[in-house]
Structure 1
């Protein structure tokens, strides 16, 4: 069940002006999320619309782990298979 004020966010296309593309970022930016937060993002299109998500950056931790093969400070991660 979604509980208001408990890390859930709703975005409706009806909140946008005509012709405007929608976008979002972290609702808590520039603060941190609660520890072990499980957040819900709800995107509500108007009738006849579809939702398409495109991420330029998606980071879930502040510091990368040395165990995942990345260098310290390298916060990017490929979400697809990288060619050799």
Structure 2
């Protein structure tokens, strides 16, 4: 990860307004995505360059997003820091 470490400003929990989708960006460049009651619905790695994030799910799925004004815009979703 270009900027990964425990102090990176984007490491931590990001959630949709309704709390249904939760992304935990771990300091080691991995993420855990929860959906509803499925706490580990998706697992994978991520890379952040500037304010852009790339995701690689362990199943092979890829996605990306951007941090804009402290909000994560990802795959049509808006996630806020918890």
TM-score range, shorter chain: under 0.3
* More helix per residue: 1
Could you state the TM-score of these two structures normalised by the residue count of structure 1?
0.24
Q: Which has the larger radius of gyration?
A: 1
Structure with a larger share of its residues in strand: 2
